[in-house]
Amino acid sequence: MAWLLGWDYNVAFMPYGDWWRRHIRALHQFFNSRAVLSYEPSKLKACRGLLQNLLKTPERFSEHIQFSMARVIMDLKLWFIPLILTSPQVIYAIDIKPENDFLVDMVHVAVEGAGNTILPGKLTRLFPVKYIPNWIPGIPFKKLVKKYKEPTDAISDIPFNTVLYAEQEKKNIDHSFVSRSLERLRTLKNPLPNEEAVIKNTAGIAYAAGAGTTFSGLIQAVVASVLYPEVQKRLHDELDTVLGDRLPTLADRKDLPYFNAFCYEVLRWRPGLPLAVPHAALEDDIYGGYFIPKGSIVVADAWYISQLSTPSPLLCKFTSVNRSILRDEKYGPNPEEFNPERFLQPGTRAPTEQFGFGRRICPGRFFALNIMFLFMASIFKVYEIVPAKDENGNDIPVTDRFIASGVTFFLLRTFYTIDIYPQSGDHNIVSTISSEIFETRRPKKNECDEAPTGKS
Ligand code: HEM
């Protein structure tokens, strides 16, 4: 099924084995907890750009967040794979346009396609659809394949081929992860077979997976702050006390316990993949007293059953579960309530289940948490987020309308009416930041250690 839609390069859908291992090894080297710290300059650049865009057109906040996420990944600085230890590089070194960028639009459609067809909750994945002829009425699946395959291929093919082309033409492009990896591959006497495909897939999936799920987390953070203004007030207070007049960097993360708790709570409260990614059992197994025959598809319920207003009796009968993993009482009382405090209590550990399980756990989790921290801390340092007003000046009520079925994040764009205002007084740092910082300035080595003052 994933193959029909063009998602065969998606590591999450690869069966366990050597091919998967080669990809996951590359991703771990790229996104492990230490490596992600070295990408701060790219993140800061995208983050400061986001603050400026929010100042110009706050009503388009979700587009700005989506664009900034894409920009971070495309412009990612990295020291990747043992071969490239010399200097930080970029993944593709391709610029994303602030408006109507083809690759940003394509990732939107491709991820929507995965949500509509492959991820749990969609019947299409249970049938051998490739054998169903097109002319049979009532089977829209083939149309879906037509609609989604091209964008899914595009987000991996186009940036990769652009780098290949630039190389062949000997164009003066920034050295990127992709170009350096290819260069090195050509010097190897006995490369592993299909190494070029591993490089291409790894870069492609970092873009597709990273841009989608992290975007979802960021939007949910915005929504939570409007639904719970007392939480937003506490975030402002903590950020002001710790940071004073400057914007945050990753180094501040350790000094902002309430803010960290807020990020964890957003991911626990509304995980981007509420049913994670389904996997098939490699062997017969027994778990919790249940016999799981080899080949069974196992779906982990991070947050699904709990949010159904009337959980299916059939589902509950077969699973004997009525509470999702992220609604477990180990996270404290009232698990449905949004309450960052729960992660400040002694003995409550940060949740990991929103990132999946066991050896299939998300390799991008450290990167995602850092991005969430930097983007949201910067936004809250500068802005106040409130419901938008209607024509009579009344608040338009913001309701919590997340639909937990597969990948739903791109739907969120149309759901919320929210305004973003610069905070009063001297909080309005962003308008004093020169636009040069965002467009052309590349921070020098070590510069990211210094807190940007916003007064350049
Ligand atoms: C808040 C952001 C994110 C969330 C909530 C998230 C969540 C998840 C979940 C639930 C899974 C399935 C794990 C399983 O099968 O048990 C997964 C897998 C994966 N994620 Fe993420 N993810 C996020 C960000 C990222 C980023 C930034 C990347 C970029 C590298 C990424 C790359 C992947 C990959 C490659 C897999 C497949 C792993 C495998 O099957 O072995 N994710 N993610």
Contact between 416 and 221 under an 8 Å Cβ cutoff? The reply is no
Cα(401)–Cα(101) distance, integer angstroms? 28
Binding site membership of 276 for ligand 1 (Cβ less than 6 Å) = yes
**What domains appear along the chain, each with residue ranges and CATH number?**
7-449 (1.10.630.10)
Give yes or no for residue 61 having a pLDDT over 50: yes
Helix, strand, coil proportions of the chain in percent (round to 5)? Answer: 55, 5, 40
Q: Higher-confidence residue: 291 or 443?
A: 291
Amino acid (one-letter) located at 113:
G
pLDDT digit string (tens) for 192-203?
999 999 988 888
Continuous segment of H or E residues that includes residue 183: helix 177-187
Q: Which of 368, 354, 340 is nearest to 303 (CA)?
A: 354
- The predicted structure's pLDDT at residue 440: 27
From 55-69, 98-112, 385-399, 410-424, the region with the lowest mean pLDDT? 410-424
Bridge partners (DSSP) of residue 421 are 384
Q: Say how many Å lie between the CA of residue 365 and the centre of ligand 1.
A: 7
Supply the pLDDT for residue 194: 93
Q: Which residues contact 138 (CB under 8 A, 6 or more apart)?
A: none
What are the phi and psi torsion angles at 283 (to 5°)?
-135, 165
Of 151, 128, 155, 152, give the one whose Cα is nearest residue 141.
128
- The residue whose CB lies within 8 Å of the most ligand 1 atoms, and thus the one to mutate among 73, 362, 375, is 362
Query: Other CB atoms closer than 10 Å to residue 249's CB: what's the count?
Result: 22
Q: Which of 334, 331, 341 has its CA nearest to residue 302?
A: 331
H or E element that contains 419: strand 418-422
What is the ipTM for the molecules in this complex?
0.98
What integer pLDDT is reported at residue 186 of this predicted model? 86
State pTM to two decimals.
0.81
Query: In 244-348, which ranges are continuous DSSP H helix?
Result: 257-269, 313-319
The residue behind tokens 């710290």 is 37
Query: Tokens representing 108?
Result: 């939107």
First to last CA, the chain: 52
Q: Is the CB of 23 under 6 A from ligand 1?
A: no
Average pLDDT, the chain: 75
DSSP-H helix ranges across 349-397 = 365-382
User: Please, which residues have CB within 8 angstroms of residue 205's CB and are 6 or more apart in sequence?
Assistant: 9, 10, 11, 12, 23, 27, 156
The predicted-structure confidence for 157-194, as pLDDT tens digits, reads as follows 877 887 777 777 766 555 666 777 788 888 888 999 99
Q: Is 452 in the pocket of ligand 1 (CB under 6 A)?
A: no
Any ligand 1 atom below 6 A from CB of 218: no
Q: How far apart are CA 309 and CA 324, in angstroms?
A: 13
Among residues 193, 197, 192, 191, which one has the least CA distance to residue 178?
Answer: 197
The better pLDDT of the pair 54, 16 is held by: 16
- C-alpha distances out from residue 385 to 51, 212, 235, Å: 13, 22, 12
Mean pLDDT in residue range 360-387:
91
Tell me: the pLDDT tens digits for 261-314? 999 999 999 888 888 888 889 999 998 888 999 988 888 888 866 666 555 555
Residue 263 assigned ligand-binding role: no
Who's near 51: CB < 8 A, 6+ residues apart? 247, 378, 379, 382, 430, 433
Measured distance CA(70)–CA(76) in Å, rounded? 10
User: In the prediction, which pLDDT does 235 show?
Assistant: 96
pLDDT band, very low/low/confident/very high, at 89 (cuts 50, 70, 90): very low
Q: With contact defined as beta carbons under 8 Å apart, do 115 and 230 qualify? A: no
**What pLDDT is stored for residue 355 in this prediction?**
94
